[in-house]
Structure 1
Amino acid sequence: MKFHKEGYTSLALVVLFIFVINAVADYFDANIFIKWFLYLLSAFLFIAIVQFFRSPKRTIHIDDNAVLCPADGKIVVIEETEETEYFNDKRLQISIFMSPTNVHINRNPVSGVVSYFKYHPGKFLVAWHPKSSTLNERTTVVVKKQDGVEVLFRQIAGALARRIVWYVKQNDVVRQGDEFGFIKFGSRVDIFLPLGTKVAVNIGDKVVGGKTIIARF
């Protein structure tokens, strides 16, 4: 288990905060109950930040006929919908909700070339809000597979997640299962597939990024 690079600043701030509050308590000779409360709070904060930014090693099995899950979390949406940013037609949408306890790394669901990328500043509605996918801060990535099929996936910030990080740009060649981004402290990832794609998951399923097959072409 490694610690993800996106957590270095957060970890440094937490360690500094822990040092300061404990130093102040010692300086003013706080009573034993306050000190123990601060010790427990310090331990909780440190464990929480390490948990948030953990980066487990995963072996990715490339399968061009499969769509790998782009994030850890739970399947909250499987529906036919109108995709209005890029395709402007009906697509099959699958959405994964990432809680603060999930691994927050986002992975390419398919291999190919990035044919479209756009970052959208926006609001921070809760991730399950119906309008979060069009009003919240988000990124949109479209990858064109070797056979010409295009898959769109979208990082969506939520009420707690206030920073989206991405590592891809238009015309990049990407490999299935590799990291394409990170959402600090969770939120949601939507993926839009061609109609007729065979879904391999159900609402409520817990899924693992880069491991769970969520659909097949």
Structure 2
Amino acid sequence: MRMRDTFIKPMHPEGRRFVAIFAVVTLVLFLISDVLGWIGVGLTVWCYYFFRDPVRVTPQREGLIISPADGIVSLIEPAVPPVELGLPDTPLTRVSVFMSVFNCHVNRAPVAGRVTAVAYRPGKFFNASLDKASSDNERNSVAIEMADGRQIAVVQIAGLVARRIVCFVGTGRHLAAGERFGLIRFGSRLDVYLPEGTAPLVSVGQTMIAGESIIADLASTEGGRGIRAD
């Protein structure tokens, strides 16, 4: 890897028009004041950084459930998947990953499989780190059926600042683990509902990397892990 690639990441196409808008506003600000113009430059760079879409190296062993988002594990608790997906109303372990405005916001499939349902539901815009965000906020839910017939639900949830959920896939689409399936602007959360009986291998407060960090292993008999924070 070249040194330049460490600092300069490719940008997702969804971000082009936003960066263009920020750049035009910056030019106008320079006409008003150099100080305001340089503030605009900083915000334009941040906008580019927000929509970065770096290459990720996804573990490919069958049974691994990969984090769909960059961010921090904010909640791990039992919950019923969104009713609009038509899944059984049995509580499953839900792992929530909170994305701040500084995280990469490209979302990736947690497992390989076929998309069996995609359901958008409008809602409110509470802080995405709150528990009630899962039920009250705007969301887009995706159900993925794996080769063994088990299903995983992954839910994009808008946050306090986010006002636009983007989903690139539809019903019937086959996804590879770690494949891009959507993004959210600007600050939000993703919930993953693990299959029944699956123990998460992460803990609240742990940092996740979309497409790389392992949330759970369906082939493992290991229980949940303890943590030590320094």
Looking at structure 1, the residues matched to 27 and 128 of structure 2 have their Cα atoms a distance apart, in angstroms, of: 34
> Residue 173 of structure 2 aligns to which amino acid in structure 1?
D
Structure 2: 5+ residue stretches without partners: 1-8, 219-230
Looking at structure 1, the residues matched to 149 and 100 of structure 2 have their Cα atoms a distance apart, in angstroms, of: 34
**What percentage of aligned pairs have identical amino acids?**
35
Structure 1: 5+ residue stretches without partners: 26-33
Structure with larger Rg: 1
Match of 2:12 in 1: 4
Match of 2:115 in 1: 114
> Residue 24 of structure 2 aligns to which amino acid in structure 1?
L
Q: In the TM superposition, what is the alpha-carbon distance from 1:46 to its structure 2 partner?
A: 1.6
Deviations 1:185-205 (A, max 9, x none): 120000101232131111100
What SS does the aligned partner of 1:142 have?
strand
Looking at structure 1, the residues matched to 53 and 208 of structure 2 have their Cα atoms a distance apart, in angstroms, of: 16
Looking at structure 1, the residues matched to 117 and 137 of structure 2 have their Cα atoms a distance apart, in angstroms, of: 19
Are positions 1:19 and 2:27 aligned together?
Answer: yes
TM-score (norm 1): 0.91
Match of 1:29 in 2: none
> Residue 80 of structure 1 aligns to which amino acid in structure 2?
P
Looking at structure 1, the residues matched to 48 and 63 of structure 2 have their Cα atoms a distance apart, in angstroms, of: 35
Match of 2:3 in 1: none
Alignment of 1:25-44 (within 5 A): 25=32, 34-35=33-34, 37-44=35-42
Q: In the TM superposition, what is the alpha-carbon distance from 1:129 to its structure 2 partner?
A: 2.6
TM-score (norm 2): 0.86
Looking at structure 2, the residues matched to 119 and 110 of structure 1 have their Cα atoms a distance apart, in angstroms, of: 20
Deviations 1:42-72 (A, max 9, x none): 2211221111111111222322211000000
Looking at structure 2, the residues matched to 118 and 64 of structure 1 have their Cα atoms a distance apart, in angstroms, of: 26
Count of aligned pairs between the two proteins: 207
> Residue 141 of structure 2 aligns to which amino acid in structure 1?
T
> Residue 204 of structure 2 aligns to which amino acid in structure 1?
I
Match of 1:134 in 2: 135
**What RMSD, in angstroms, separates the aligned Cα atoms of the two structures?**
1.2
Q: In the TM superposition, what is the alpha-carbon distance from 1:21 to its structure 2 partner?
A: 1.7
Match of 1:161 in 2: 162
Are positions 1:75 and 2:73 aligned together?
Answer: yes
Match of 1:123 in 2: 124
Looking at structure 2, the residues matched to 18 and 134 of structure 1 have their Cα atoms a distance apart, in angstroms, of: 38
Alignment of 1:194-209 (within 5 A): 194-209=195-210
What SS does the aligned partner of 1:3 have?
coil
Looking at structure 1, the residues matched to 61 and 75 of structure 2 have their Cα atoms a distance apart, in angstroms, of: 23
> Residue 43 of structure 1 aligns to which amino acid in structure 2?
V
Q: In the TM superposition, what is the alpha-carbon distance from 1:88 to its structure 2 partner?
A: 0.8
Higher relative strand content: 1
What SS does the aligned partner of 1:146 have?
coil
Q: Post-superposition, which runs of at least 4 consecutive aligned residues in structure 1 deviate over 6 A?
A: none
